[in-house]
Amino acid sequence: MNLITESWIPITRQDGAHGLVSLDELFAGAAEIRDLAVRPPERIALLRLLICIAQAALDGPEDHSAWENCRDQIPDRARAYLHKWKAQFELLGDGPRFLQVPNLKSDKEDAGGTAATKLDLALATGHNATIFDNAGGSERPMTPARLALALLTFQCLSPCTIIGAVSWAGQAIPKCTGKHAPAASASMLHCYLTGERVLETIWLNLLDKERVTDSAGPDGWGVPVWENLPATLNSNEAVRNATSTYLGRLTPISRLIRLHDDRTHITLGNGLDYPLFPAFREAAATVIERKEKPTILGAELGRDLWRQLPAVVVKRRYDQDRMSGPLTLDNLPPDSPATLWLGALVTHQNNKILDVISAAYEVPSGMFQDTGRQVYEAGVAYADGWESGLARSVKAFAAALKLDRPPGEKARHHFWTAIEQHVPALLALINSPALAADFSTTAWGGAVRAAAQEAYEFACPRQNPRQIEAFAKGRHQLFPRHASPKSDGQNKAVKTKPTRKP
């Protein structure tokens, strides 16, 4: 199977129909294809591949002016480039293979290899979590299309884990704990600008060479890994290109992989060592200040993505300014709104996969300015105040009933889930900052108040006299008697200074 000419990429067409396309078909129809139809980790990996192909085909753009004029060139240039390197995109066979290394042998006595389902992060194989899959432990052949997508995703996002011993080109690579793939470190929150069609999405997320030089240095552009695949771990220049350049890292060799012809097994070893932040900054990452030092913004299951937006939308003001959202935000004109896609593979401290999360937001142009972010942060803080009031009311309810475990988490989860549906109302206030002086009079304020009341009623039953009495005591904490609907304790707008911390 050749990934350039045979179909494997799931897409949504303009009429809403789903299908599979090859790389050649994707670039040929990029102006009409609506979107990729994949899970969040696969979207991250595919966008990295498509961006890498487009940038290599253009050998640029050189600067922002060249970027503004390169969109219509992408399809033809990318297709010509792909056919030049067609031999490197074979999934199986005796010659070069896509994101795989030759001369790889397992040190297992039976040499049977690892189940190929290990490549699919959603399937329970080996140490993979069972959260997405209840059929773990059985051998399941994978179609070539699914295997190709899983291979790409695994190379980009496989978390730190124990990997068995192999030999590569005669060099022994012992059993070890492999490090995170470059797109998986610290549950990194990825952000991509999204257009109405795939072509626009690819174009919006290209970095020009000047921006890459500012971020990665004069030797930081590089070439895709298929143009200079390391022959061994001692192939110094090829390893440097793969691990320390912009194009080399977009499609990494974080694991040494060789697919078996039966498509049910692979040979798997630890791959190249990729320097992580601050040694190298991923283009889609957000850098924040935490404990007085810059760090990558990671996703957290207990913190909704919309609450992280103020950190993500910060544009770099100076070339050496590291605290900012994704580098591609600089592509946006000053007064332009944007649609942002956020996503992450969330891992635990022991590197087990916890979940995948994603969301898309239509962000007004004012959000990219300090004043707009200040309004949004005040709206988030306003909701935080109501959450605190909700927690107090639930505790009062539980105390009246002498419950050992107050249903606080139940109420909290219901509250944040309910108000997430109303985030557009908060974003709308950015263009009308005067209204944010009193959130209680706005649609956002009404939604937050209603969500708090709904969450309290959901978590605190009132089915007998004791519960009814406890319910009334708790509700008094949420809505004090002296407070009118427009003046209760949580209905004051919170004034905050512009900040780059989440």
pLDDT tens digits along 74-106: 999 999 999 999 999 999 999 999 999 999 998
Give me the chain's average pLDDT, please: 89
Q: CA distances (Å), 300 to each of 96, 183, 322, 324, in order?
A: 39, 16, 22, 19
pLDDT number for residue 321: 62
Q: CA distances (Å), 121 to each of 42, 131, 157, 485, in order?
A: 10, 10, 9, 48
Amino acid at 230: P
Q: CA distances (Å), 462 to each of 118, 466, 469, 502, in order?
A: 49, 8, 8, 38
Distance CA 168, CA 104 (A): 5
pLDDT number for residue 113: 81
For residue 138, pLDDT over 60 is answered with no
Query: What are 425-448's pLDDT values in tens digits?
Result: 999 999 888 888 889 999 999 999
Query: What are 179-226's pLDDT values in tens digits?
Result: 889 999 889 999 999 999 999 999 999 999 999 998 888 899 999 999
Residue 246 pLDDT class (50, 70, 90 cuts): very high
Distance CA 59, CA 212 (A): 12
Average pLDDT over residues 322-341: 91
Q: Alpha helices, DSSP H only, in 245-292?
A: 246-250
Distance CA 204, CA 11 (A): 19
Query: What are 370-413's pLDDT values in tens digits?
Result: 999 999 999 999 999 999 999 999 999 999 999 999 999 999 99
Query: What are 98-137's pLDDT values in tens digits?
Result: 999 999 998 775 566 889 999 998 875 555 555 555 555 5
First to last CA, the chain: 45
Task: Classify domain 372-478 by CATH architecture.
Answer: Orthogonal Bundle (1.10)
Residue 492 pLDDT class (50, 70, 90 cuts): very low
Residue with tokens 């795989």: 100
Distance CA 297, CA 307 (A): 12
Average pLDDT over residues 21-42: 97
Q: Of residues 293 and 110, which shows the higher confidence score?
A: 293
Tell me if the bond preceding 278 is cis, omega within 30° of 0: yes
For residue 12, pLDDT over 90 is answered with yes
Distance CA 447, CA 292 (A): 35
Amino acid at 136: G
Query: What are 449-472's pLDDT values in tens digits?
Result: 999 999 999 999 999 999 999 999
Q: Which of 502, 377, 376, 394 is nearest to 452 (CA)?
A: 394
Domain coordinates in residue numbering, the chain? 9-270, 372-478
CB hemisphere CA count around 106 (13 angstroms)? 18
Q: Determine how many CB atoms are found less than 10 A away from the CB of residue 101.
A: 23
pLDDT number for residue 2: 97
For residue 499, pLDDT over 50 is answered with no
Q: Which residues contact 325 (CB under 8 A, 6 or more apart)?
A: 191, 286, 311, 312, 313, 314, 315
Q: Of residues 12 and 496, which shows the higher confidence score?
A: 12
Give me the percent of the chain exceeding a pLDDT of 90.
73
Contact call for residues 187 and 344 (beta carbons, < 8 A):
yes
